[in-house]
Structure 1
Amino acid sequence: MATKVKSKKVTDDTIISMYMDYVLENEVVPKSVYKFCNDKGIDEAVFYENFGSIAGVQKSIWTKFFLHTKNLLTSNKEYDSFSNKDKLLTFYYSFFELLTLNRSYVLFTLENDKSLLKKMEQLKGLRKHFKAFASELIVEGNAEKSLKITKHNPRLFSEGAWLQLLFILKFWMDDDSAGFEKTDIAIEKSVNTVFDVFENTPLDNIIDFGKFLFKEKMA
């Protein structure tokens, strides 16, 4: 049996790190909290002080990915001066850079779960935080518009942005290009497309994006 870890040293981050190590080392999700705690040498009571279940750990990991990315952005003194498009672009680039550092875990946890509902359950916390972030961007954009008719619905925009994030996530998972450069292109083109639609500018970028997706799909 593993040596018990002193409870005062065990935090939610400690458990998350242990969990990610566990699934990558064993290539399986722990069958129970007892099994996980026994293998990692922590008391079940300590686990339950931080999480209610294994599923709770899984959801928290994605929430932490978001919060770490958001904190990284807001720590940049120039971030507030960015346009909304640049804020979204910067978020995506930073978020997927973080996912790349944890790619083995992300691929395992999403590819291992064949059920779409279970995948979405893991991403619940991420969805909530990301939609709030996207809503903030559209509210900021609306504040700059004088005509009500040109303003956009934050609820609809945030849902569209969430679907966009899921699309890019799937693209990144399938991307085998060096340095995931194709994902970077997909991010830029998809964000440009969204903002072109909202600003009612010509559809050149939409057509360009469509051609890019077709080429990648058929390659």
Structure 2
Amino acid sequence: MATQRKKKETTQEIIVSWYTDYCLSHGKKPNSVYEFSKQNGFEEAHFYKHFASFEELESDYFSKMFYYTVDLIKENKEYAQYDSTQKLISFYFTFFEMATANRSFVKFLLEEGKLPVKNITKLKTLRLDFLMFIKTILEAPLKVENEKITNIQNKLVHEGAWLQFASIISFWMRDTSPSFEKTDIYIEKSVKASFDMVYNVPIESIVDFAKFIWKEKIGSGFTYKN
């Protein structure tokens, strides 16, 4: 039965809140924007003022998380003095604190359906946002005068950072440790190892990170849930 609400123009935030509630309460998306708007007592046209589809709403959800994270870390007066490693770790810690606060919905979005791998498209806007952010804190490891080589280096470093971010998301979704403390360890070790590999090239931190991954994959302390 449709909820009886006086029909009025709604905000983006309210629509997302209703959508979140519907998905978590029913374990699936609404069948249509028409059904969703009718159930929540607002005009279908108001939905399309904010989002072209449910898929765009979901993509925008992750983008909003990103920008809120960036705003939060920049409120810290010490952030401007951080080196690149500290800035990236600060971003990851803050982002995943927010993701944890909304874990049920985030997992629903990324595990939905029989082929969860398709849900990676929901991160398309987040990826673009993250790449813009990462360009402000990571530089090419080798200083050369050839602009083409510099651009290639930058692209490899930035895309590598995105793959790292995606791997942390994947790890966090499977993490069963209290307060997701193993995700924090994963963040610290993976960032240190990647910076050492790209900028410093010592082996110790890379081996340390590899040992951690091996332990989590093979050891009994980590449970994979389908």
**TM-score normalised by the chain length of structure 1:** 0.91
Give the aligned partner of residue 31 of structure 1: 31
**Alignment check: 8 A CA contact 2:110 2:120 kept:** no
Q: Structure 2: which 5+ residue stretches go unaligned?
A: 220-226
**Alignment check: 8 A CA contact 1:135 1:155 kept:** no
Code of the residue aligned with 2:201 in structure 1: it is T
Q: Deviations for 1:162-198, whole angstroms, at most 9, x for unmatched residues?
A: 1111111111111110011100000000000111012
Mapped to 2, the partners of 1:60 and 1:18 lie a distance apart of 15
| Correspondences of 1:67-106 after superposition (within 5 Å) | 67-106=67-106
The 4+ residue runs of structure 1 with deviation greater than 6 A are 149-152
Report deviation, 1:44. 0.3
Report deviation, 1:105. 0.6
Q: Deviations for 1:95-152, whole angstroms, at most 9, x for unmatched residues?
A: 00000000011111111234356312211110000111112212xx45xx89428978
Mapped to 2, the partners of 1:114 and 1:130 lie a distance apart of 28
Mapped to 2, the partners of 1:58 and 1:27 lie a distance apart of 15
Report deviation, 1:68. 0.7
Give the aligned partner of residue 2 of structure 1: 3
Report deviation, 1:3. 2.6
Mapped to 2, the partners of 1:72 and 1:39 lie a distance apart of 35
The change in CA–CA distance for 1:123 and 1:172 in structure 2 (over 3 A counts) is same
Give the aligned partner of residue 148 of structure 1: 144
The change in CA–CA distance for 1:5 and 1:214 in structure 2 (over 3 A counts) is farther
**Alignment check: 8 A CA contact 2:7 2:41 kept:** no
Mapped to 2, the partners of 1:146 and 1:155 lie a distance apart of 13
**Alignment check: 8 A CA contact 1:135 1:157 kept:** no
Give the aligned partner of residue 118 of structure 1: 118
**Alignment check: 8 A CA contact 1:134 1:157 kept:** no
**Alignment check: 8 A CA contact 2:3 2:41 kept:** yes
Give the aligned partner of residue 223 of structure 2: none
**Alignment check: 8 A CA contact 1:30 1:36 kept:** yes
Report deviation, 1:201. 3.3
Mapped to 1, the partners of 2:56 and 2:107 lie a distance apart of 19
**Alignment check: 8 A CA contact 2:112 2:119 kept:** no
Identity across matched positions, percent: 41
Instruction: Give the number of the structure whose residues are more often helix, by fraction.
Output: 1
The change in CA–CA distance for 1:146 and 1:127 in structure 2 (over 3 A counts) is closer
Counting matched residue pairs gives 214
Q: Deviations for 1:22-57, whole angstroms, at most 9, x for unmatched residues?
A: 100111111110111112221101111111111111
Mapped to 1, the partners of 2:209 and 2:130 lie a distance apart of 23
Mapped to 2, the partners of 1:203 and 1:218 lie a distance apart of 22
Code of the residue aligned with 1:11 in structure 2: it is T
Mapped to 2, the partners of 1:5 and 1:199 lie a distance apart of 59
Mapped to 2, the partners of 1:50 and 1:147 lie a distance apart of 44
Report deviation, 1:65. 0.8
Give the aligned partner of residue 202 of structure 2: 202
The change in CA–CA distance for 1:39 and 1:79 in structure 2 (over 3 A counts) is same
